[in-house]
Amino acid sequence: MAHTVQPSPGDHEYTTTGLSHRKLLMWVFLSSDCLFFGALIATYMVYRGQSLNGPYPVDIISVPITTISTFVLLMSSFGMVQALSATVRNDQKAIQMWLLVTAALGAVFIGFQVYEFNAFKNEGLTLGVNLFGATFFTLTGFHGAHVTVGIIWLLGLYIAARKGRIGPATSLDVELMGLYWHFVDIVWIVIFTLLYLIGGFDAGPTVLPGGSG
Amino acid sequence: MAAITAVIPRPTSYAGIWGWLTTVDHKRIGVLYGMTALTLMLVAGIEAGVIRMQLATPDSGIIGGDRFNQMFTMHATVMVFMVIMPLSASFFNFVIPLAIGARDVAFPRLNALSYWLFLFGALLFHVSFLVDEVPDAGWFSYANLTEKPFSVNRGLDFWSLSLLVLGTSSVAAALNFVVTIINLRAPGMSLMRMPVFVWMTLITSILLVLAFPVITVGLIELTMDRNFGTNFFIPSAGGDPILWQHLFWVFGHPEVYILILPAMGIVSEVLPTFSKKPLFGYPFVVFSGIVLGMMGWAVWSHHMFTVGLGPITNSVFTITTMLIAVPTGVKIFNWIGTLWGGSIDLKTPMLFALGFIALFIIGGLSGVSHAVSPSDFQQQDTYYIVAHLHYVLFGGSIFGLFAGIYYWFPKITGRMVNETWGKINFWLLFIGMNVTFFPMHMLGMNGMPRRIYTYAEEFGWGDMNMIASLGYIVIFLGMLAFVVAMLKSLRGERAGHDPWDAPGLEWSISSPPPAYNFAEIPQVDGLDQYWIVKARAKAAGQGDVPAEAPVDPSTIHMPSPSYWPIWIAAGTTLIAGGIVSHFALSFVGGIFAVIGIIGWSNEPPAAPDPHHGSQH
């Protein structure tokens, strides 16, 4: 019977599927996160065109600017792939560089988001002003929080890489980071499509809400 | 920071209070879950007593309407999220690794974190009593009653924030059990050789992983409405209270199966053992469980028939709800088939399992009666619903879980159950449960709405309410009998490793099991593995199979205890607590949690080994 000994404390020597526990955990967690973003996106879609007063998306959404930040975030996934590839090759310099590049691109994306939030606030869009503000900031805010967690995680890996702890033996650490990072990117593609490309040109209330005001 | 946390060695002591605070042993965590849940059950049971006292007579003024609202809200929320779910989690923890032939769960520290989050979440919830700002909007807390203008004090904040903490705990635990069951089965234990309880745990865990994020979003939106000025559920700003109902019940109906599937799994273990024959139609029981898990997502709007979603929606959900009775019926027929022709041994766990079947059938049938949406218009928000949900949750979940307590008690403690007190416990609960909840069917049909704190004498609801309240006394005595049974059993005769001649792997090791569970990971050749082993021994004329011989524990590497799970759980709960009190507290909690996470990831893999010197 093949027993492989894994060094980390949580792991036992035997797994039924041959997959590592941590990889399986990450996939199951991402399925959970799908439902989390699904519910937030559903809230946005249900309330699309339901805001009683402005600012409406058409007044403030800038598709060109966010297209740039979207491009930056998608390119960060390329950096992530390179980092994993370098880890498998045990190219220490490249590991450090690509981890840092990925984190930096993520940080640029967050910078765009901070700029955008600030600009929207100056134009009168707040959490409480209308449903668009509430749903927009909540959904993109939680996505931004995910990206931020990813950046911190990447920097943690970078520190480990500087100490020479990242290599083929620990490539799973980078692979899990990659799963999370790509997932957060894919969620952004959905958000960008729905909130900017489709919903970004919405003007005033399309359907008057039922019930008493 | 990393340099600081990395030099903190892992705790070495397994003894005393520190041993429990830092434990990562799934058996100890299971016991912690169970003891905490049973304590909270006492609290929520007393709240139920206050409710029944108030309703026993018409025009009663023992407590006012406000206090009454608090009582039913606390009773229901605690029973659902802090009694039935953690009691199920207690069995997941104690039994699952033993039943699949593993030495622990896949992530022992994450498991400890789940428990501490649950405990602290429950404590945060009950702080509301200390400051007398108690949640009072019912367990599904419909918007927009829950919004600031209508629920002025912080009660609903305690409700939503502690449920967020408890949800984190549940998801963390469920992730752990999905991975454990998929990845840590003993060699040879294919999916269709897993005990039914393991199957039901897997399905429950998947439901938890997928359902809790939805309520999490609802709770976040509610918290933001109340604290950060958003208008998600406020109609005057265009918000739609119905969205809350959808978010709640999209979670809430899978939650119903989260509550009942573990009990179904336990009963599927108990019935074959005490009928001395294998479960009838194992694949049908498994697949009907899978179907329940999937169809549980397609019935949520039957909680909302009277909202006005329209005839087409109501018809669709009527059909799906009637269909979901089919897999439940399949299970019940399989259980009856298991009993058929068996040599039935009416020990206490078996009595509870049989009680489960009887009461769950009644609850299931009343459930089908309000699956029909026109009929439901008559029953919605009446005591008929209260009767139904108590038959499935008390008669179903709690009876199933009690069957589990009595069934695995010898394995957990190494002592036999006191049968006399166990049977007194069963009969008092069984009689009390029916006396309390059966009259509620009639009350509901006579039009008594749920959640009213008193009623006029002319309605004629007095007699039935008095009977129900007397029934509560019988239930209360039953629970006292449970305490006596447990205390007497703890000093009872010693149990062998296999007192019930049971089929599961957990019975092949000594009672209570050693810290490492299995000295040698078993090889599984079929369903009901331990029966196979015993039958082979008998055929070879070897007589009884002894428990696996103990080995020197130091030869088996087990995960060391850790300080960080309780630390991170405390930090996380402080973040939530800060939103109800002062944001500075959230900040402190956040720092705590971050330090904890850094410590967690830098923790050395094992405690310093006295034989070989410190590794770090």
Confidence check: pLDDT of B207 > 80: yes
Confidence check: pLDDT of B525 > 70: yes
Span A143-202, pLDDT tens digits: 999 999 999 999 999 999 999 999 999 999 999 999 999 999 999 999 999 999 999 988
Query: Which residue is it, tokens 């209330």?
Result: A205
CB contact under 8 A, A50 and B108: no
pLDDT band (50, 70, 90) for residue B2: low
| 3-state SS, residue B208 | helix
Question: What's the burial of B150, exposed, middle or buried (CB within 10 Å: 0-12/13-18/19+)?
Answer: exposed
Q: Please, are residues A171 and A17 in contact by the beta-carbon 8 Å criterion? A: no
- Active-site residue set of B: 75, 104, 139, 169-170, 253, 255, 257, 268, 302-303, 328, 331, 450
Q: CA B268 to CA B503: how far, in whole Å?
A: 12
Span A119-128, pLDDT tens digits: 999 999 999 9
CB contact under 8 A, B559 and A130: no
Q: Please, are residues A78 and A185 in contact by the beta-carbon 8 Å criterion? A: no
CB contact under 8 A, B106 and A9: no
pLDDT band (50, 70, 90) for residue A203: confident
Q: CA B143 to CA B234: how far, in whole Å?
A: 8
Tell me the pLDDT of chain B averaged across its residues: 93
Size of interface A-B (CB pairs under 8 A): 138
Retrieve residue B172's tokens.
Answer: 């963390």
Q: Please, are residues B54 and B60 in contact by the beta-carbon 8 Å criterion? A: yes
pLDDT band (50, 70, 90) for residue A18: confident
Q: ∠A188-B244-B302 over CA atoms, to 5°?
A: 115
Alpha helices in B296-347 (DSSP H): 311-339
Span B7-44, pLDDT tens digits: 566 776 667 788 899 999 999 999 999 999 999 999 99
Lowest mean pLDDT across A139-143, B208-212, B595-599: B595-599
Query: Which residue is it, tokens 């810290």?
Result: B515
In chain B the domains, ranked by start, together with CATH numbers, are: 1-23+560-608 (no CATH), 25-559 (1.20.210.10)
Q: Which of chain A's residues have a Cβ under 8 Å away from the Cβ of B107?
A: 10, 21, 25
Confidence check: pLDDT of B445 > 80: yes
Residue B6: per-residue pLDDT:
57
CB contact under 8 A, B179 and A131: no
Confidence check: pLDDT of B5 > 90: no
CB contact under 8 A, B184 and A10: no
Q: ∠A117-A120-A122 over CA atoms, to 5°?
A: 110
Residue range B370-389: mean pLDDT, rounded:
93
ipTM for this model: 0.93
Closest residue by Cα to residue B239 from A127, A33, A203, A141: A127
Alpha helices in B78-137 (DSSP H): 85-99, 108-130
Confidence check: pLDDT of B476 > 80: yes
Which among B5, B12, B205, B230 is the top mutation candidate for probing chain A, defined by the most A β-carbons within 10 Å of its own β-carbon?
B230
Q: Which of chain B's residues have a Cβ under 8 Å away from the Cβ of A23?
A: none
What number of other Cβ atoms are within 10 A of residue B541's Cβ? 6
Closest residue by Cα to residue B103 from B498, B408, B511, B520: B520
Residue B13: per-residue pLDDT:
63
In chain A the domains, ranked by start, together with CATH numbers, are: 62-201 (1.20.120.80)
Instruction: State which residue of chain B sits closest to A39, comparing Cα positions.
Output: B214
